[in-house]
Structure 1
């Protein structure tokens, strides 16, 4: 009898875990005026990626639409194969229920994700952009006109590969990328990579500088159907 109860308990736990995993999000409105139901949290780390802040993640600032989570993780998996020597870091996304997300003007319906700009050091090694409370978790970092910070500079190859991987992961799930916001003065480096022609064909980049520079991170809005 005891073994039967244990087995039943295990089955109920498994079914419960399956139901949690199967939760689908619903987004409403737009990235600048919307909300989210059943938002899901991005994992704190993976084989080739980390969160920008464990504290901010615990505070609920890294929730997204379930489809966006799947896309982001699928892209990282693809990059682990195509670029095993590269590391990536995601940043702010939004709240579990969406809504206003200070200080951002968007990030309100689970379809917006900030990614910290991948960097490379003087030895040619992939490195994370430093993110900690003293630089506002990376958002107060200022790269120079050449995309440099001390001995680090933008890894355009990694960044371009990441955007392409996100686009391919999106279309594989029947979605798309709406836009990529990144400092227009630094975009040229992306088009000089092997992915330049692909980016020009498939990705809509910001043409004008937004209210914040977007040099230390690139903002991506995903095109997923909303109510």
Structure 2
């Protein structure tokens, strides 16, 4: 089933077209951020990632030194909220990566609704502990950002089982950097009383990740990358990887 067909199917099921909007209006973002001033009360994540709520969720910054939220329309439609501890985890991880890879920019994708709960078309993302991270790309062994700023339509890009972009086989996923990000996020999470519960990624990519230098370290860790997914969910996790966090027990 093609990503385009999946998009049409989701729209027919009644998902708001605003979810798939694009645009990078700085004025809209400034107005939205000013209207979502947060308090100092800690966040509370209740229930599970697939059936929960978020109280006092905190808005993720639209951009930082080496990272950016991927889509304006998604952002101003309340889809970039997190548990405050998880927001801290991600920002700390980006600061760590900035030291290791000073010139690399990263893109964060959808998080949770302002108050948690269902957030179409995701099956999880309900309690502020789930995040989608955009796959880092290269073209001819050089960093490539050409597909990173197309907005929510990024979710519908197609990559084959080798991580090559269907529209241009010279563009491919940097699997070593995927592993490096996951390892950094796990370290940051544990420093803040959390850990990665699971990583959802196209299962055909696992062997390609584990074959890289950072991937070998990832394979030796206790971080769980899913072993199997339904064909639909598997095909939807080729342009990004999804992480669910949980509190350390």
Q: 1:101 aligns with which of 104, 113, 119?
A: 119
Q: 1:87 aligns with which of 105, 123, 126?
A: 105
Deviation at 1:225, TM superposition (A): 7.0
Under a length normalisation based on structure 1, what TM-score does the superposition of the two structures give? 0.85
Deviation at 1:131, TM superposition (A): 4.5
- Residues 1:167 and 2:183 are matched in the alignment: no
Q: Structure 1: where are the runs of 5+ without partners?
A: 1-18
- Residues 1:69 and 2:87 are matched in the alignment: yes
**Cα separation, 2, equivalents of 1:128 and 1:38:** 35
Q: 1:218 aligns to what?
A: 241
Say which SS state the counterpart of residue 207 (structure 1) adopts.
coil
Q: 1:158 aligns to what?
A: 177
| Aligned-pair Cα RMSD in Å | 2.0
Q: 1:142 aligns with which of 158, 177, 185?
A: 158
Deviation at 1:132, TM superposition (A): 2.9
| 1:1-227 matches, cutoff 5 A | 20=38, 22-127=40-145, 129-132=147-150, 136-149=152-165, 150=168, 151-200=170-219, 201-210=221-230, 211-212=232-233, 213=235, 214-224=237-247
Deviation at 1:47, TM superposition (A): 1.4
Alpha-carbon distance change, 44 to 20 in structure 1, aligned in 2, over 3 angstroms: closer
**Cα separation, 2, equivalents of 1:103 and 1:41:** 20
Q: 1:13 aligns to what?
A: none
Q: Any runs of at least 4 consecutive aligned residues in structure 1 with deviations exceeding 6 A, and if so which? A: none
Deviation at 1:94, TM superposition (A): 1.0
Asked if structure 2 preserves the Cα contact closer than 8 Å seen for 1:86 and 1:126, the reply is no
Deviation at 1:20, TM superposition (A): 4.5
**Cα separation, 2, equivalents of 1:41 and 1:147:** 31
Asked if structure 2 preserves the Cα contact closer than 8 Å seen for 1:75 and 1:165, the reply is yes
Deviation at 1:128, TM superposition (A): 6.0
Q: Which piece of structure 1 moves more, 25-34 or 115-124?
A: 115-124
Under a length normalisation based on structure 2, what TM-score does the superposition of the two structures give? 0.77
